[in-house]
Amino acid sequence: MISPVRSCAALAVLSVIVGCSSSPTPTPAPVADPRIGLKAGLMNAGEAVGNLKVTAKAVSPPGFLGSTNSDLAFKGNYVIQGNYNGYQIWDISNPAAPSLRQGC
């Protein structure tokens, strides 16, 4: 004779096995990366912008532009742009027309 404890344990194991054998949840299709296939270039590189709106572009002054990218920091209406050549402070009070305030 099978004890009630053993039959409950067997039933619990069976329900776990049956619960695990259900069909898996389908995974969503991967989204294509918009950066794939962008053109390279220093001043004319391709762009991929997501969840943002480009309002203006500013060209770095002579002597600041280098072969490395810049870091950006934000403080109020100013953007501090730095790289191995020094730093630039841009006034973005008017986002459509950033102006260079100071450079080093």
Q: Does the structure show a pLDDT above 70 at 5?
A: no
In degrees to the nearest 10, what's the CA dihedral of 100, 78, 59, 64?
80
Domain boundaries, the chain: 59-104
The pTM for the full model equals: 0.57
Alpha-carbon gap, residue 51 to 5, rounded angstroms: 59
Q: Does the structure show a pLDDT above 70 at 6?
A: no
Q: Does the structure show a pLDDT above 80 at 85?
A: yes
For residue range 18-40, list pLDDT tens digits in order: 455 566 788 888 888 888 899 98
Q: pLDDT band for 78, please (50, 70, 90 cuts).
A: very high
For residue range 42-61, list pLDDT tens digits in order: 778 898 888 888 899 888 78
Alpha-carbon gap, residue 43 to 1, rounded angstroms: 84
Return the pLDDT at 31.
82
